[in-house]
A and B are shown apart, each in its own frame.
Chain A
Amino acid sequence: GGIITQTPKFLIGQEGQKLTLKCQQNFNHDTMYWYRQDSGKGLRLIYYSITENDLQKGDLSEGYDASREKKSSFSLTVTSAQKNEMAVFLCASSIAQTNTGQLYFGEGSKLTVL
């Protein structure tokens, strides 16, 4: 079996700060995702990547940058943290051609902006 590791698990930042979250997977999956989870709002897709160096915008990409440096890693940057950026960010991965909806999720990174 594989695992998705998100770092850091908890991130505290200042308003206006640039903050980066990292995600590593050892499934050898092609596709990776960043979702934002807000209480009572479900999951919203920020960015996804179907292969190394690929980036695709999701529904919530404004205010974020992403980077797929290699197949196993996908990072997300909050370009300027805002007070309402307190949320949990979930990284996920899947094989390229899946019709099972089998996304494998990390445990999440909780962001708090002071």
Chain B
Amino acid sequence: GEQVEQRPPHLSVPEGDSAVIICTYTDSATAYFYWYKQEPGAGLQLLMSVFSNVDRKEEQGLTVLLNKKDKQLSLNLTAAHPGDSAVYFCAVSLHTGGADRLTFGKGTQLIIQP
């Protein structure tokens, strides 16, 4: 089945710097790609979703890049601030509808140093 590797597991950057998190997946038929954010004591919140026909998507200081050739998905937080400190998960899915069988990465603990 689908495997998702996420790196790094921990990342600490100064406020104002960029932070990059990378995921690699194994199934070339993967159609949907997601980034979720989990703040302490809370559930996961969807940050961005990308379909496989999109290479780049930007929203509110976040950039998602999809490299289908290398089966790699990345999340770039530009000008990070302390409120970005959280655990970030990538997730991928083969399905177009019905129950979303997402495969999650193991998460990245991001700390933004004030």
Contacts and interface: CB of A to CB of B under 8 A. Distances in A.
B105 A99 contact: no
Contact of A56 (B96, B99, B106, B107): B99
A19 interface: no
A104 B45 CA distance: 7
Contacts of A99: 32, 51, 95-97
Contacts of B34: 101
Interface stretch (B14-22, B36-44, B78-86): B36-44
A92 interface: yes
Interface residues of B, number: 28
B104 A42 contact: yes
A96 B97 contact: yes
A97 B89 CA distance: 22
24 contacts: A4-B43, A31-B98, A40-B106, A40-B107, A42-B6, A42-B106, A43-B44, A48-B99, A50-B99, A56-B99, A92-B43, A94-B100, A96-B97, A98-B100, A99-B51, A99-B95, A99-B96, A101-B93, A102-B49, A103-B46, A103-B102, A105-B44, A108-B41, A108-B43
